[in-house]
Structure 1
Amino acid sequence: MMALDAELCRDVEDFLTREARMLDERRFEEWMDLFAEDGYYWAPARPGQQDPWHEVSLFFDDREIMADRIARLRHPKIYAQLPPSRAVRQVSNTVIDGDGGDDTVTAHSTFFMFEHRPTLPQPIERVFAGHVTHCLRRAGDGFKIAWKKVMVANCDATHDPMFVYF
């Protein structure tokens, strides 16, 4: 049983690391493909927010909204992203709930994201950090994201517009 648990942990950690790398490399379309057809991405706007349906969130994107946001990020005249932001994400402290016996695995992790926007006359640099919960569904040899909740530590602070996912 321990070997199975270690293998599952390694598989989940690899998946989360690859996901972060896709976002770092602005491979947004590939990243969106990690989500199940009914999957969604949620970043609450305040600590303790119970759900994304009854109050405003920083992000609450299903695949259709993700596709729209990604199309805007790819548009040649999105001046707020000329030149595009560069970001580095670190995922760590991964803990898995359950053994995935019902074809789902819940993974909790922490994240750190550094964003650099090389604007003139002064570059803009921002740091975000927080806790992430992924609900992953087994799909073939890997996983699909059923939902992803990103609890940004300073989610209730005043932020400039956010263009990239955490």
Structure 2
Amino acid sequence: MMDDRNALLSHQTFARAIEFIWREAELLDRRDYREWLDLWDPSGHYVVPIDPNTTDYAATLNYAYDDQDLRQKRVQRMTSGYSASASDAARTVRTVSRFTLASDSADGVEVKSSQIIIAYKRGASTIFAANLTHKISMASGEPRLVEKVIRLIDSTDALSAIGFLL
């Protein structure tokens, strides 16, 4: 009976994590970056690596490797109206799917998924595709992002027009 209970709790936690990831995607599409900041655990990292295989983000070059301070500064730039990415930001629609529970514990889960973003700006649409990893803490009772890794499928090519959060 205990195994059934653990399986049920694991399933419920996984479902909550998926809902949380979808909520994050909606906030980003609405450009509600300040509310997006509230999803994060203070110790969390937002990572967009260049090397598709790296796991040591601190020791490699990344498009983004943001701790709490850098996430707040990035959002400030994007919402201030003074940067090109803020004044002419792309409108986005993202789809997140193919959810896989990579690991779970009493404190949280790691969920792998795929993401397609269509970004529309100045009459042109651009597609961004990525594999995502969300590490989500459930320790406080409310989900909090501990780490989000966005592995763009074309990360080693020259990328432009990433004036928004992935």
Q: Is TM (by shorter chain) over 0.5?
A: yes
- 2:14–2:109: 8 Å Cα contact kept in structure 1? no
- 2:80–2:86: 8 Å Cα contact kept in structure 1? no
Unaligned runs of 5+ in 1: none
Q: CA deviation at 1:31?
A: 0.7
Going from structure 1 to structure 2, the CA distance change for 1:130 and 1:39 (only over 3 Å counts) comes to: same
**Alpha-carbon deviations, 1:66-120, whole Å to 9, x = none?**
111111111223234433210111111111133422x021111111111111x3x
* Separation of aligned partners in 1, 2:33 and 2:85: 17
Q: Does 1:150 align with 2:158?
A: no
Structure 2 equivalent of residue 61 of structure 1:
66
Unaligned runs of 5+ in 2: none
SS in 1 for 2:162: coil
Going from structure 1 to structure 2, the CA distance change for 1:80 and 1:11 (only over 3 Å counts) comes to: closer
Q: Does 1:124 align with 2:116?
A: no
Letter in 2 for 1:42: V
Q: CA deviation at 1:124?
A: 3.3
Q: Going by fraction, where is helix more abundant, 1 or 2?
A: 2
Q: How does 1:109-120 map to 2 (within 5 A)?
A: 109-117=113-121, 119=122
SS in 2 for 1:43: strand
Structure 2 equivalent of residue 100 of structure 1:
105
* Separation of aligned partners in 2, 1:90 and 1:32: 20
RMSD (Å) for aligned C-alpha atoms: 1.6
Scaled by the length of structure 1, the TM-score of the pair is 0.89
Structure 1 equivalent of residue 80 of structure 2:
75
* Separation of aligned partners in 1, 2:25 and 2:145: 13
Letter in 2 for 1:55: T
Letter in 2 for 1:74: T
Q: CA deviation at 1:161?
A: 4.4
Letter in 1 for 2:99: T
**Alpha-carbon deviations, 1:48-69, whole Å to 9, x = none?**
1232222210111111111111
Alignment: residue pair count: 161
SS in 2 for 1:37: strand
Q: 1:35 aligns with which of 26, 32, 40?
A: 40
Structure 2 equivalent of residue 11 of structure 1:
16
SS in 2 for 1:160: coil
- 2:89–2:163: 8 Å Cα contact kept in structure 1? no
